[in-house]
Amino acid sequence: MAKKKMALEGLKVVDFSWVFTGPMVTKYLGDHGAEIIKIESAARPDGTRLMTPFIGGEMSLNRSGVYANYNSSKYSMNINLREPRGVEVVHKLVKRADIVLETFGPGVMKKLNLHYDELKAVKPDIIMLSMSMFGQYGPYANQPTFGQLLQATNGFVNLLGWPDRGPSLPVAAYTDYIAPWYVMIALMGALDYRRRTGKGQYIDLAMQEASVHLAAPVVMDYTVNNRIQSRQGNDSPGAAPHGVYPCKGEERWVAISVFTDAEWDALCKVMGNPAWTKQPEFSTQFNRTQHIPELDKHMGQWTKGYTPEELMGMLQKVGVAAGIVQTGQDLVDNDLQLRHRKHFVEMNHAEAGKHLTERPPYRLSKTPSQPSRPFPGFGEHTEFVCKKILGMGDAEFAELIGANVLS
């Protein structure tokens, strides 16, 4: 079967990143054809390798479902970076590479003699990006933390939940799903700059700073209007009904959004024009927004007679925005659109077995993404990279393994 051409064919990345954010970026690059060589160390495997859920339900370094998702299309090798000869191997990789990505805390790469100045000496046009929580400098730069807590700093935790209660927790570390796309943007931008000028660069990218960009209007509402926005449940200015309503079945819900009188009329028709909809409180879009609790109560009485699938079908048909409040099960087993998009790709790993990797949310029409291999086992490609990619001889390789420089 002819392989479709890949957008990033020929691009080479040396990837020191670990856990979630960096690996997602290099997975996206790898899935579009780039060569990704992931550096792990025997003493410190990527922390995600021990995260639930496990493929086959059994814990092991090569069975993490999340690691599997974030690390398709990559080679992985173990190098002892504290050994000078390990650093030499890194230099050999960098010499032929376009990009170096790292997401350790500030100062770590410097301590390993793998900072930009050292790597630039090896490859003058190298593009190196360091992604950290707060940036490489500043009063908080050296504070250790993790994404699940960092997300609280960019305002979105405060904006999730109910006005009469404390904030609710986002599903996962939400900032971990903003920052990688900015890393991607900076890397692709740097590649373009290099193409036009021949120059590489060192980029210091801060997760928190990138995520604050999404909160720009919220910050401006404060600096201009002195208003501190807060969580509003499911409300949206000018919309009513606009909420999540209970359906037939346990923990089954539907989301309905009505912004105009025309949508309201269509909704009422589907509901059979019940008497309550003719009350003056519900007669105009404005009036409805002033009587949300009563409106939501009425809506819930109606929706609980149906499944969310039925409601989505009935309402979308007449141009009313409605959607199932889907669960992980819905996404994987039932969602016809994700199936159409082939969002979930079933992969098979030689040791762990079947698992899913997800596709980036965009389809390039001529060079679509395609995972080239399942996630790498721990140390799976050390020998392959050294011998087949770097051309290392058998004796040298054996020596480095024996000396624990490689594993």
Partner 1 sequence: MADEKEKPPMLDRYRVLDLTDDRGALCGKILAELGADVVKVEKPGGDPARSVGPFYKDTPHPEKSLNWFAFNQGKRGITLDIETKDGQEIFKSLVKDADFVVESFTPGYLKKLDLDYAALNKINPRLVMISITPYGQTGPYSKFKSPDLVTMAMSGYVFICGDSDRPPVRFTSDQSYMQGSIQAVGGALMAHYHREMTGEGQQVDVSMQEAMVWTLCYAPHDWYLLKALHHTRENGLWRRFGVTYRLIFPCKDGYVCYRLLMAQPGANVMNDLIESMNKEGFGLDMKGIDWSTMNFTEVSQDKINYWEGELGKYFMNHTKRELHEEAVRQRNVLQPVNDAKDIYESPQLAARDFWVEVEHPELGESITYPGPYFKSTETAWFKGERAPLIGEHNGEIYLKELGFSEEELMTLKRDNVI
Subset of residues 85 to 144 that bind partner 1, contact rule: CB under 8 A: 116, 134-144
Q: Which of 198, 217, 293, 402 binds partner 1 (CB under 8 A)?
A: 217
310 binds partner 1 (CB under 8 A): no
Distance (Å, rounded) from C-alpha 348 to C-alpha 336?
23
16 token code pair = 């020191």
Distance (Å, rounded) from C-alpha 164 to C-alpha 218?
20
364 binds partner 1 (CB under 8 A): yes
Minimum distance between the CB of residue 11 and partner 1, rounded to whole angstroms?
A: 8
143 token code pair = 């504070």
Closest CB to partner 1 among 161 and 377? 161
Distance (Å, rounded) from C-alpha 102 to C-alpha 81?
13
Q: Which of 39, 254, 392, 405 binds partner 1 (CB under 8 A)?
A: 254
162, 293 Cβ separation under 8 angstroms: no
Q: How many CA atoms lie within 13 A of 70 on its CB side?
A: 25
157 binds partner 1 (CB under 8 A): yes
As a whole number of Å, the CA-based R_g of the chain is: 26
148 binds partner 1 (CB under 8 A): yes
Q: Which stretch binds partner 1 (CB under 8 A): 47-55, 72-80, 88-96, 386-394?
A: 47-55
Considering only residues 50 to 79 of the shown chain, the ones binding partner 1 according to CB under 8 A are 52-57, 65-66, 68-69
Minimum distance between the CB of residue 280 and partner 1, rounded to whole angstroms?
A: 25
Q: Which stretch binds partner 1 (CB under 8 A): 274-282, 337-345, 378-386, 395-403?
A: 337-345
176, 47 Cβ separation under 8 angstroms: no
Q: Which stretch binds partner 1 (CB under 8 A): 74-82, 88-96, 164-172, 384-392?
A: 164-172
Which residues does the annotation mark as catalytic?
Answer: 176
Q: Which of 198, 237, 293, 391 binds partner 1 (CB under 8 A)?
A: 237
248 binds partner 1 (CB under 8 A): no
- How far from the centroid of its chain's Cα atoms is residue 41's Cα? 24
Considering only residues 269 to 308 of the shown chain, the ones binding partner 1 according to CB under 8 A are none
325 binds partner 1 (CB under 8 A): yes
208 binds partner 1 (CB under 8 A): yes
Q: How many CA atoms lie within 13 A of 50 on its CB side?
A: 4
Alpha helix stretches (DSSP H) within 226-325: 261-271, 285-289, 292-303, 308-317
- How far from the centroid of its chain's Cα atoms is residue 364's Cα? 18
221, 229 Cβ separation under 8 angstroms: yes
231 binds partner 1 (CB under 8 A): yes
